[in-house]
Amino acid sequence: MNRIGFIASSILVLLVLLSSTLFVVDQRQFGVVYALGQIKQVITEPGLNFKLPPPFQNVSYIDKRLLTLSSLDTEPMLTAEKQRVVIDWYVRWRISDPQAYIRNVGLDENAGAMQLNRVVRNAFQENINKRTVRDLISVRREALMADVQREVLAVVKGAKPWGVDVVDVRITRVDYVEAITESVYRRMEAERKRVANELRSTGTAEGEKIRADADRQREVIVANAYRDAQKIKGEGDAQAASAYSEAFGRDPQFAQFYRSLEAYKQSFNKKSDVLVLDPSSDFFRAMQGSGSATSAPRR
């Protein structure tokens, strides 16, 4: 009976010792095996692993997932205008090098979060000191968050790297006193009005330029048309004068008769026109003897 009990006790002790040498690493964790305060092994892949039983070796676990750190305090910060603002932010980060993290931060994830909170807040304070309130509520906020992320990375990747990656930094809320809000929105409204006035002025100037160009083109077109018309008219007058000269040269009596008719036409252009002349004057010769003027035989 004693022999059976001894065997059972021995088996139980062996099972306990065996179980203390086995450990499972979850896919969401790093497994860190250390002895006497020294890291012996870092397991990054999930599965069943072996180690020496305590106190020779122990195992600790560190979260490898993407973590979120939200701002832990709401102390006001000063802008470039010496205005006090309160911002809320969050950081997305993960542990990428467990050995560096344990060596420079420790096994406690909360301790790492506290240190990261201090670094991020200092970076925000430094950058907000250089910016106005308007920068915090406009699209320039993106540049602010990028600058903060760059400065935080410079710290955690510095001479003593923390073994972490900072994936993103975001501002979630900006609070300030009502007087500042009104002042900021008044400046924004004035800026928008200035831009609108500049656009309207530019549009008016462009319109005047287009109208002036159109007027200039119209004047050029009219001048060219008048020049061409005068040229054609001059050519027509020259041809008519040549034809008249040729016709009058062949029949001088007809030429005299034609000029008399033109004179009558010009003299009696209106019904009210009255001429007091001697009927025997040369002016009425064509009327007195139109037949003789036109039917006289040529020799």
Question: What are the pLDDT digits (tens) for 22-67?
Answer: 888 888 899 989 888 788 888 888 888 888 888 888 888 889 999 9
d(CA 289, CA 202): 79
Q: How many domains does the chain have?
A: 4
* pLDDT tens-digit map of 131-144: 988 888 888 889 99
As a whole-number percent, the residues of the chain with pLDDT over 90 amount to 21
State residue 202 phi and psi, 5-degree precision.
Answer: -65, -40
Do 134 and 167 share a domain, yes or no? yes
Cα 146 → chain centroid: 19
What is the SS3 assignment for 18? Answer: helix
- The answer to whether residue 29 is domain-embedded is yes
With beta carbons less than 8 A apart as the criterion, state whether 109 and 62 touch. yes
Do 258 and 244 share a domain, yes or no? no
Do 42 and 26 share a domain, yes or no? yes
- The answer to whether residue 191 is domain-embedded is no
Do 227 and 140 share a domain, yes or no? no
- The answer to whether residue 185 is domain-embedded is no
Given a cut of 80, is residue 176 above it in pLDDT? no
d(CA 110, CA 116): 10
Do 215 and 143 share a domain, yes or no? no
Do 244 and 275 share a domain, yes or no? no
> What pLDDT does 182 receive?
61
| Pick from 285, 225, 220, 215: nearest CA to 257 | 285
> What pLDDT does 192 receive?
82
> What pLDDT does 170 receive?
94
Given a cut of 90, is residue 129 above it in pLDDT? yes
Do 76 and 156 share a domain, yes or no? yes
> What pLDDT does 285 receive?
62
* Confidence grade of residue 164 (pLDDT, cut at 50, 70, 90): very high
Q: pTM for the full model?
A: 0.53
Do 224 and 291 share a domain, yes or no? no
Do 245 and 257 share a domain, yes or no? no
Q: What is the DSSP letter of 158?
A: S
Give me the chain's average pLDDT, please: 81
d(CA 264, CA 7): 161
> What pLDDT does 91 receive?
96
- The answer to whether residue 181 is domain-embedded is no
Q: What is the DSSP letter of 283?
A: G
- The answer to whether residue 11 is domain-embedded is no
Given a cut of 60, is residue 298 above it in pLDDT? no
- The answer to whether residue 4 is domain-embedded is no
Among 38, 62, 86, give the residue marking a domain's end.
62
Residues in Cβ contact with 144 at an 8 Å cutoff, skipping those fewer than 6 apart:
127, 128, 131, 135, 136, 171
131: containing domain: 67-176
Do 97 and 172 share a domain, yes or no? yes
CATH number, domain containing residue 160: 3.30.479.30
* Confidence grade of residue 295 (pLDDT, cut at 50, 70, 90): very low
Mean pLDDT for the stretch of residues 218-230? 88
Better-scored residue on pLDDT, 1 or 153: 153
> What pLDDT does 294 receive?
43
With beta carbons less than 8 A apart as the criterion, state whether 118 and 137 touch. no
> What pLDDT does 152 receive?
95
- The answer to whether residue 158 is domain-embedded is yes
Mean pLDDT for the stretch of residues 269-277? 64
Do 241 and 146 share a domain, yes or no? no
- The answer to whether residue 167 is domain-embedded is yes
Do 98 and 124 share a domain, yes or no? yes
